[in-house]
Amino acid sequence: MTRRIPQARERGIPDATVARLPLYLRALNGLAERGTATVSSEDLAVAAGVNSAKLRKDLSHLGSYGTRGVGYDVQYLIYQISRELGLTQDWAVAIVGVGNLGRALANYGGFVSRGFRVAGLFDADPAVVGERIAGLVVEHADGLESVIRKRGVSIVVIATPATAAQQVCDRVIAAGVTSILNFAPVVLTVPDDVDVRKVDLSIELQILAFHEQRKASGGPMMGDEWPDEVVVVSERGAALGEASQ
């Protein structure tokens, strides 16, 4: 029974750290634009809205890139974090579902600026296919698999209604995609090697409502009884991007 000793440069950055790296990157880019050359963990932590000890521990997972007594070189750190996140290469992204949300995403500037390139827009509605959005022509969802393979798409954004999401998901996985960003309000079932990240407006609002209620009233009404009239809220809402299909 040997003791588990963590390697200095072991592959395995904690998820919580990975989730914060983009935040640091953004703060660093802000500093770089203002011409700052070096930054202390304290200052960077404030800019990113985290604790400075946490920031230092996070960065220590990437390597020892700071200089004691001075801080971190902004440009160098930007490069190291970008490299770790895989932003030094280009990622082809496809957006499926060109409803309100799909359009918003296609026009999103932050996409292009960071190594993410929109390589395709898809919808199942013939009325939308052929339309030109953000310099791209919307293609019919039938061609999904072939286009994914042909253009080397590795990340797919699902912005379809909830009902279509799982089917789209299955198809893009069959085409070899292993990274999915899901905006549809459903739990996607995927194999273990596929990463799904979920963005769900409705859930965020409900979490806010919980805290708001707590602040307002010191908790929900105390009784556990049913009220006289129970109104059951139904799951009638379409996906955020209510596209066709």
Partner DNA sequence: CCGACTTTGTGCATCTCTTCACAAAGGCAC
Partner DNA sequence: GTGCCTTTGTGAAGAGATGCACAAAGTCGG
Binding residues for NAD(+): 97-102
CB-wise, 3 or 218, nearer to a second copy?
218
Rounded least distance, CB 233 to a second copy, Å? 6
Largest distance between two CA atoms of the chain: 67
Residue 52, binding choice from DNA, a second copy, none, Cβ under 5 to 8 Å by partner class: DNA
Q: How far is the CB of 4 from a second copy (least distance, A)?
A: 20
Residue with smaller CB distance to a second copy, 29 or 40: 29
Side chain identity at residue 186, one-letter code: V
Residue type, 154: S
Q: Min. distance of Cβ 200 from DNA in angstroms?
A: 16
Comparing C-alpha atoms, which of 44, 40, 94, 49 is closest to residue 69?
40
Q: Which residues are annotated as a binding site?
A: 97-102
CB 41 within 8 A of CB 55: yes
Which residue's CB is nearer to a second copy, number 5 or number 232?
232
By C-beta, is 142 or 214 nearer to a second copy? 214
Minimum distance from CB of 65 to DNA (Å)? 6
Task: Please provide the DSSP assignment of 214-227 as one string.
Answer: HHHHSSS-S--SPP
22, interface contact from a second copy, DNA, none, CB < 5-8 Å by kind:
a second copy
Nearby residues of 145 by Cβ (< 8 Å), 6 or more positions away: 171, 172, 174, 175
Phi/psi for 169 (5° steps) reads -55, -50
Q: Which does 144 bind (CB under 5 to 8 A by kind): DNA, a second copy, none?
A: none
- Judged by beta carbon distances under 5 to 8 A according to partner kind, the member of a second copy, DNA, none in contact with residue 66 is DNA
Smallest distance, Å, CB 221 to a second copy? 7
Helix (H) or strand (E) holding 117, with range, is strand 116-123
- The smaller minimum CB distance to DNA, of residues 17 and 166, is found at 17
Indicate the residue type of 219: G
Closest CA to 96 of 142, 127, 134: 142
* List of residues contacting DNA (CB under 7 A): 14-17, 40-42, 50-54, 56-57, 59-60, 64-72
Answer with the entry of a second copy, DNA, none that 133 interacts with (C-beta below 5 to 8 A by kind).
none
Rounded distance between C-alpha atoms, residue 194 and residue 175, angstroms: 12
